[in-house]
Every structure is written in structure tokens, then in C-alpha cells.
């Protein structure tokens, strides 16, 4: 049953069918299925398949945007049903997609997971200028700065942000992620942490704040 509903959600997002995405999401709730699992196995899986199709030139930018819209309509329904850890004050994180990059689907999933794990997230959005991360972290006295990049070109900007953050002596540690980013890259640019997905982002964020990394 669960797998069928996840598949329904995947099909709905892939075909950009908002009505079906809403129907599938409501079924997730009715059947008491874990909302986060539905987002990852239904929606994120659809975006992964869409990505492959895009790379093979089987679909184009408009189809990707239509899929992203269907995914957002599903997340709107599922988000309030995500299990929270019933803890607040996990920490304060300034989060955004780096300059030159407008891919925010993954960043939004990371935000969702952090918020449901008790973090206060200051979301700067996408295509965020280098200095904005530093200024905002200073202004709100953030524990962490979270950087997301989806392109090999934009990920280079992360290095500038790490460098500027160290120079400006802010106390915020830097966590990075996104499809082209790796643990090796994080070490190379001296970021404090790297996470491969939204679940790991929460784990690493907590470890960074506790000083375990």
C-alpha cells in the first residue's frame, strides 16, 4: 500500500499533475504513512528521475518547473504532518543557495528537516550574494551558515564564503551540501561540515553545534 502511494506521488510530480499530487499527499495522511518518507520516496525520487530525463534531453526546463510546482503542492500538505523531535532551540542557521545558482528544491528539503528538528532557520533564498551570508550570520549571531549549490560553477563560490567567514571572525560554522559537492571538496575549502542529504544535514548540524566536529 505504502509503495503504491509513493509511486502515485512520484508519477504525479513527474507528470506535473498538481491535482494528483494533492490526492496522493492526502492519502499519505489518511493512511498514517510517515510524511518525510513520502517526501523522499515520492517527491524527491520524482525529481531524481526528472533529472535523469533532463540530462538525456527527454524533458526540458518547462517540464522541470511544472514538476517542481507539483512537488511544492505535495510538500505544503505533508509538511505539517512531519514528526517533530519536540525540541526547540537546536540552534540558529542562516541557509541559502549560493550566488549564481537558482536550484532551491534541495535547500528547501534541508530547511524542512532542520525546522522539524527544532532549528531556527533564516532562509536567504537562492542566488544569494557572498557577503549576505556573512552579514546575516553576524546580525543574528547564527551558530551555523548552511550553503547549498547544485552546479559545478556555483560551488566554487562556497570557497569564497568560507574564506570571508574566517576572515570576519564570526562564530558561525559552515555546513555545505548539494549534488556536485563532496566531503573531499568540503575539506579542501575548509568548510566545517558536509552533508549528502537533508537527514544527514540535521545530524551534522547538531554535531557542529555541540562541538563534536
> Is there a contact between 40 and 83 (Cβ–Cβ < 8 Å)?
no
> Is there a contact between 162 and 190 (Cβ–Cβ < 8 Å)?
yes
Q: Alpha-carbon distance 199 to 34, whole Å? A: 14
Smaller CB separation from ligand B1M, 32 or 188 = 188
- Closest approach, Cβ 45 to ligand B1M, in A, equals 9
Question: Which of 206, 96, 112, 196 is closest to 146 using CA atoms?
Answer: 96
| Subset of residues 37 to 96 that bind ligand B1M, contact rule: CB under 6 A | 44, 47, 50-51, 54-55, 61, 64-65, 68
Question: Which of 134, 139, 108 is closest to 123 using CA atoms?
Answer: 108
DSSP 105: H
Q: Does 100 bind ligand B1M (CB under 6 A)?
A: yes
Question: Which of 86, 66, 77 is closest to 28 using CA atoms?
Answer: 77
Which of 16, 42, 91, 146 binds ligand B1M (CB under 6 A)? It is 146
Q: Alpha-carbon distance 174 to 168, whole Å? A: 13
Q: Alpha-carbon distance 56 to 147, whole Å? A: 28
Smaller CB separation from ligand B1M, 28 or 150 = 150
- Closest approach, Cβ 179 to ligand B1M, in A, equals 4
CB atoms within 10 A of CB 104: 19
| Per-residue contact string for residues 152-181; x = within reach of ligand B1M by CB under 6 A | xx---------------------xxxxxx-
- Closest approach, Cβ 171 to ligand B1M, in A, equals 17
Which of 20, 121, 191, 198 binds ligand B1M (CB under 6 A)? It is 198
- Closest approach, Cβ 108 to ligand B1M, in A, equals 8
- Closest approach, Cβ 163 to ligand B1M, in A, equals 17
CB atoms within 10 A of CB 95: 27
Give how many residues touch ligand B1M by CB under 6 A: 37
Q: What residues make contact with ligand B1M under the rule CB under 6 A?
A: 44, 47, 50-51, 54-55, 61, 64-65, 68, 100-107, 109-110, 146-148, 150-153, 175-180, 195, 197-198, 201
Amino acid at each position: 500500500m505504502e509503495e503504491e502511494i509513493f509511486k502515485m506521488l512520484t508519477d504525479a510530480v513527474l507528470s506535473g499533475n498538481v491535482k494528483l499530487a494533492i490526492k496522493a499527499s492526502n492519502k499519505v495522511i489518511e493512511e498514517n504513512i510517515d510524511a518525510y518518507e513520502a517526501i523522499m520516496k515520492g517527491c524527491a525520487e520524482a525529481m531524481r528521475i526528472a533529472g535523469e530525463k533532463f540530462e538525456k534531453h527527454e524533458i526540458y526546463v518547462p517540464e522541470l518547473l511544472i514538476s517542481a510546482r507539483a512537488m511544492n503542492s505535495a510538500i505544503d500538505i505533508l509538511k505539517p504532518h512531519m514528526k517533530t523531535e519536540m525540541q526547540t532551540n537546536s540552534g540558529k542557521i542562516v541557509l541559502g543557495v549560493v550566488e549564481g545558482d537558482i536550484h532551491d528544491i534541495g535547500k528547501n528539503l534541508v530547511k524542512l528537516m532542520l525546522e522539524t528538528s527544532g532549528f531556527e532557520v533564516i532562509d536567504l533564498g537562492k542566488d544569494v550574494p557572498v557577503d549576505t551570508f556573512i552579514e546575516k550570520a553576524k546580525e543574528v549571531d547564527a551558530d551555523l551558515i548552511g550553503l547549498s549549490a547544485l552546479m559545478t560553477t556555483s560551488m566554487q563560490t562556497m570557497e569564497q564564503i568560507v574564506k570571508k567567514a574566517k576572515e570576519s571572525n564570526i562564530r558561525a560554522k559552515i555546513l555545505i551540501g548539494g549534488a556536485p559537492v563532496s566531503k573531499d571538496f568540503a575539506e579542501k575549502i575548509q568548510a566545517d561540515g558536509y552533508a549528502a542529504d537533508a537527514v544527514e544535514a540535521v545530524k551534522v548540524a547538531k554535531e557542529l553545534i555541540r562541538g563534536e566536529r
